[in-house]
Amino acid sequence: MADTRIPVVDAWLTAGDMGPAGPQMQMDQLDGMHMVAERNAEPCPDEILEYWRLLLATRRLRAVQNEHVFIAQALRSGWSWNRVAGALGLPDVAAAQQRQAFLAAEMIRCHPSHDARPWRL
């Protein structure tokens, strides 16, 4: 879903003062939604908020999965926990290990098989 443009969202993105040639159409839809919402004094329609939520759920799961696998691969490749912590911008080894545990739990929490509500329109 996150790699495919949603026509309803594109229609909303082009309806504002920046129009169809605006910068919001040259960027990722999630970023465009952020830009338009920040510029627009009007509240977002419910349909747009539902798609926004769906895009966030998709991206969140992908980011969590990728960071978790990055840590596992770095350790498997011989990186120290200290190096992993530095690469992730974390203060120390304990924080990196806590991050890995958080990511493992978050992959379960975010997965559609655990809770399908964020994945439904």
Q: How many angstroms separate the CA atoms of 62 and 20, rounded?
A: 29
Q: What is the pTM of this model?
A: 0.78
Higher pLDDT, 19 or 40: 40
Work out how many domains the chain is built from and give that number.
2
Query: Is the confidence at residue 24, as pLDDT, over 80?
Result: no
Q: Which domain holds residue 72?
A: 58-121
Same domain, 65 and 111: yes
Domain membership of residue 40 (yes or no) is: yes
Residue with tokens 């908020």: 49
Domain membership of residue 52 (yes or no) is: no
Same domain, 62 and 85: yes
Domain membership of residue 51 (yes or no) is: no
Q: How many angstroms separate the CA atoms of 48 and 107, rounded?
A: 25
pLDDT, tens digit (0-9, with 9 covering 90-100), for 41-93 = 789 999 999 999 999 999 999 999 999 999 999 999 999 999 999 999 999 99
How many CB atoms sit inside 10 A of residue 65's CB? Answer: 15
User: How confident is residue 114, by pLDDT bands cut at 50, 70 and 90?
Assistant: confident
Residue with tokens 């691969």: 73
